[in-house]
């Protein structure tokens, strides 16, 4: 027993102190200390029962052991809980149910009491073990949250449903220089730029498809004594009714990224302006330099201007979206826009969302422009009853997805295959050359031209943000 007391004292000194109560309850303990807890609490229950035995004999043989069984199970586990049931029965038989402190077989009434006690005590052990498991899960979740907070490079903080801060938040004083409790409640908004405070009205937030709310705000940055851009992403904690009763928000420094994005947008805007001017100058030079009454030159100028327009439309899409990929539907509509002004009901465009590289998108823009030009001059669009359709589809493939683009003319004059391939045919055949398994089919049935462009688009073709452009990048167009 002295040795057990020494072990107990050591356990208490190491487990209590500044440790939370839950952590102490769930602490891993050796078998010696668990036996000590069993003996201690069952012994205390026996002493209390003996005191009441002197005052009120023959009442509640086992009732005083229930608290001991509960405490032993929570602190030492279900195994010691079951052992405390056995020890409680033996002590009761020896001290309270038999005479002269001798163990004798219990009578029927005593046996019934023991059976009822065992059933009730086993249920209590199960309940206590369940509570222990719940506390253990709570502790794991708490540790996981704290490790997440420590691992993140920004601030992770919590507020109630109205955005009030109820407890100190890690990292806030290091960034804003405001200590607790000076930012308690909604006082933290004083560290947010007045133009951005409207973005952080919690009760009006609406989450996006990812289940979170995102905004970029400026916070007062104490180390630099200036405002600095931060990205705030908030996730609601909902009750059983689906209402947000708490918000968990991560705040990450995005100042340099924000400034870089603004610089990039300025450069891209300048590039768009200069590129449009360049196409305009080239077109003006071509128009003003052509001789009069030269049909061949007029045809050349017309083709040149059309191709310049197609290139300009594709380049404008790239720069307007600041991406190195293009939506084919946007390319098709921008390229065919001039042809559809007077033929909006005669040209149909249909297909799913399809992201392509800017190189492939530019090549396809030239091909579509060439097909439309030929349709107006020689094909279906040269007569009032003619029609043209541009459709595309995508399907899964082992190496990514198969893309098929079809241009079909109907209702035009009889179609015939040309005797020799011109520059326009080479432009169309070049359209899919940048992609894997690129293939172009040109058929000339009597009812109208049929063009099929197919290729395999790899799966790793994300739409990524383009790097800061330079004037040398104009060579892509």
Calpha distance 17→264 (Å, rounded): 56
Q: What pLDDT is recorded for position 312? A: 66
| Cα end-to-end distance, the chain, whole Å | 90
Is 14 within the bounds of a domain? Answer: yes
Of 306, 353, 349, 348, the closest CA to residue 328 belongs to 353
Containing structural domain, residue 40: 2-150
Kindly give, in sequence order, each residue whose CB lies less than 8 Å from that of residue 379, ignoring residues fewer than 6 positions away. 386, 388, 409, 412, 413, 415, 448, 449
In whole angstroms, how large is the CA radius of gyration of the chain?
40
Q: What are the residue ranges in the chain where pLDDT is below 70? A: 1-25, 53-61, 96-106, 142, 145-154, 202-210, 267-280, 287-290, 299, 303, 306-325, 341-344, 460-477
The pLDDT assigned to 315 comes to 61
Regarding whether 218 and 132 lie in a shared domain, the answer is no
Closest CA to 440 of 421, 460, 458: 421
Residues 88 and 180 in one domain: no
Whether 229 and 162 map to the same domain: the answer is: yes
pLDDT value, residue 15:
40
Look at residue 227 in the predicted model and tell me its pLDDT. Answer: 92
Measured distance CA(264)–CA(324) in Å, rounded: 14
Closest CA to 457 of 410, 398, 414: 398
Do 249 and 269 lie in a common domain? Answer: no
Give how many domains the chain has, as a whole number: 3
The torsion of the CA quartet 203, 206, 212, 217, rounded to 10 degrees, works out to -70
Residue at which a domain ends, from 253, 276, 295:
253
CATH code (residue 219): 3.30.450.20
pLDDT at 406: 94
Whole-number pLDDT of residue 232: 86
Q: Domain check: are 286 and 346 in the same one? A: yes
Residue 30 placed within a domain: yes
In terms of domains, do 334 and 408 share one?
A: yes
| Cβ neighbours, 10 Å, residue 215 | 15
Contacts within 8 Å (CB) and 24+ apart, 116-122: 117/61, 117/62, 117/65, 117/85, 117/88, 117/89, 118/85, 118/89, 120/66, 121/62, 121/65, 121/66, 121/69, 121/85, 121/88, 122/82, 122/85
The residue out of 103, 135, 150 marking a domain boundary is: 150
**CATH code for the domain in which residue 363 is found:** 3.30.565.10
| Dihedral angle computed from the Cα positions of residues 467, 271, 290 and 296, in that order, rounded to the nearest 10 degrees | 30
Same domain, 84 and 168: no
Whether residue 452 is found in the same domain as residue 342: yes
- Whether 314 maps to a domain, the answer reads yes
Neighbouring CB atoms inside 10 A of 3's CB total 9
Residue 258 placed within a domain: no
Q: Do 228 and 268 belong to one domain? A: no
Cα–Cα distance between 312 and 87 in angstroms, integer? Answer: 90
- In a domain, residue 398? The reply is yes
Closest-CA residue to 159 (of 167, 149, 151): 167
User: Before 292, cis peptide (omega within 30)?
Assistant: no
Same domain, 334 and 366: yes
In angstroms, the CA 455 to CA 56 distance is 94
Same domain, 284 and 381: yes
Q: Of the residues 150, 179, 206, which one is the last residue of a structural domain?
A: 150
Least Cα distance to 452 among 468, 461, 440 occurs for 440
Report yes or no on 437 lying in a domain. Answer: yes
What is the predicted pLDDT for the residue at 451?
92
pLDDT tens sequence across 340-381: 765 567 888 999 988 887 778 878 887 888 888 888 888 888
- Residues 346 and 426 reside in one and the same domain: yes
Structural domain includes residue 22: yes
């Amino acid at each position: 027993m002295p040795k057990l007391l020494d072990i107990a004292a050591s356990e208490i000194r190491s487990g209590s102190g500044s440790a939370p109560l839950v952590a102490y309850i769930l602490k891993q303990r050796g078998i010696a200390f668990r036996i000590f807890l069993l003996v201690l609490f069952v012994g205390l229950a026996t002493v209390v029962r003996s005191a009441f035995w002197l005052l009120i004999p023959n009442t509640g043989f086992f009732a005083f052991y229930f608290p001991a069984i509960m405490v032993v199970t929570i602190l030492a586990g279900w195994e010691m809980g079951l052992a405390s049931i056995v020890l409680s029965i033996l002590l009761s038989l020896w001290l309270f149910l038999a005479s002269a402190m001798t163990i004798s077989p219990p009578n029927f009434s005593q046996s019934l009491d023991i059976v009822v006690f065992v059933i009730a005590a086993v249920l209590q052990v199960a309940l206590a073990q369940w509570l222990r498991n719940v506390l253990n899960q709570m502790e794991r979740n708490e540790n996981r949250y704290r490790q997440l907070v420590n691992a993140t490079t920004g601030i992770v903080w919590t507020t109630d449903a109205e955005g009030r801060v109820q407890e100190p938040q890690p990292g806030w004083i290091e960034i804003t220089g405001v200590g607790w409790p000076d930012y308690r409640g909604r006082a933290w908004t004083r560290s947010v730029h007045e133009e951005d405070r409207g973005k952080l009205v919690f009760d009006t937030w609406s989450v996006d498809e990812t289940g979170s709310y995102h905004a970029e705000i400026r916070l007062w940055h104490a180390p630099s004594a200036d405002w600095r851009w931060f990205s705030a992403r908030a996730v609601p904690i909902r009750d059983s009714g689906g209402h947000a009763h708490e918000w968990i928000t991560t705040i990450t420094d995005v100042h340099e990224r924000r400034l870089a994005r603004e610089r990039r947008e300025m450069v891209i805007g300048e590039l768009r302006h200069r590129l449009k001017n360049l196409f305009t100058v080239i077109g003006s030079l071509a128009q003003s330099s052509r001789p009069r009454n030269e049909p061949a030159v007029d045809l050349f100028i017309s083709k040149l201007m059309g191709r310049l327009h197609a290139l300009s439309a594709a380049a404008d899409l790239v720069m307007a979206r600041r991406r190195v990929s293009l939506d084919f539907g946007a390319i098709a509509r921008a390229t065919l826009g001039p042809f559809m002004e007077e033929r909006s009901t005669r040209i149909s465009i249909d297909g799913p969302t399809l992201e392509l590289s800017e190189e492939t998108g530019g090549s396809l823009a030239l091909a579509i422009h060439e097909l439309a030009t030929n349709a107006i001059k020689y094909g279906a669009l040269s007569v009032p009853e003619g029609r043209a359709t541009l459709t595309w589809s995508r399907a899964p493939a082992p190496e990514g997805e198969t893309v098929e683009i079809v241009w079909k003319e109907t209702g035009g004059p009889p179609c015939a295959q040309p005797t020799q391939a011109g520059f326009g045919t080479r432009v169309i055949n070049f359209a899919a050359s940048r992609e894997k398994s690129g293939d172009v089919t040109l058929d000339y049935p009597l009812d109208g031209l049929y063009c099929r462009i197919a290729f395999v688009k790899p799966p790793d073709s994300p739409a990524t943000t383009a790097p800061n452009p330079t004037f040398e990048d104009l060579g892509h167009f």
